[in-house]
Amino acid sequence: MCGAIAQYGSLAEALRSTLGSSSSALEVEVLSLSLSDRPHLQDADARAIDFAVHALGIPYAWGGNGPQSYDCSGLIVAAERSAGRRMPRTAQAQHDVARIVRPPGQAGDLAFFGASARSIGHVGLIIGGQLMIDAPHAGAVVRIEPYSWSELIDEGAPS
């Protein structure tokens, strides 16, 4: 891999070349980030993150449950289902059943956003490095973005 990095100039390009796929390279990069954030990443958390990585680029649609579209909480339901865990359908209900963790959230945890703990309107899956995968809003796609929003209320672990 070191030779490939030297040849291609970056880890991302070396992974793409070695693995032969941009999506496989991204999957390795995200799971590597998650493991550096949380070295003892549980299998279920890794499976939820892997599912979310494969959903990158899928369009947002309010009420979207996949696989053609997702809204924020629909993405979490599907990711957690792939990990063998059940989550309620809405961001508020997901917050209400999550085990709240006080800073910082780690890979596999959920980031909840809203006006208060009783008014949660958005959720994302933390992947590490202060980043999350989420389905943010109409006109957007499932994407990786920072979760340091001013509306961040809680960080919680799926129960």
Q: Is the peptide bond before 104 cis (omega within 30 degrees of 0)?
A: yes
Amino acid in position 82: S
Are the beta carbons of 50 and 84 closer than 8 angstroms?
A: no
Q: In the structure, what pLDDT confidence band is assigned to residue 7 with cuts at 50, 70 and 90?
A: confident
What does CATH list as the number for 43-157? 3.90.1720.10
C-alpha pair distances (Å), 21 with each of 26, 55, 99, 141: 9, 16, 36, 20
Q: With a cut of 70, say whether residue 1 has pLDDT above it.
A: no
d(CA 125, CA 111): 6
The token pair at 60 is 């947002």
Q: How far is it, in rounded angstroms, from Cα 26 to Cα 28?
A: 5
Number of neighbouring beta carbons within 10 Å of residue 130: 14
SS3 63: coil
Tell me what pLDDT residue 113 has: 97
Quick one: pLDDT at residue 71?
98
What pLDDT, on the 0 to 100 scale, is given for residue 17?
A: 73
Least confident of 34-43, 64-73, 85-94, 134-143: 34-43
pLDDT digits (tens, 9 = 90+) for 130-158: 999 999 999 999 999 999 999 999 999 99
Banded pLDDT at 11 (limits 50, 70, 90): low
Q: Enumerate the domain spans of the chain.
A: 43-157
Reply yes or no on whether the pLDDT at 124 is more than 80: yes
* Averaged pLDDT of the chain: 91
Distances (CA, A) of 89 to 45, 65, 157: 18, 9, 16
Note whether 142 and 66 are within 8 A (CB).
no
pLDDT of 153? 93
Residue 137 buriedness (CB in 10 A; 0-12 / 13-18 / 19+): exposed
pLDDT in tens, 53-70: 999 999 999 999 999 999
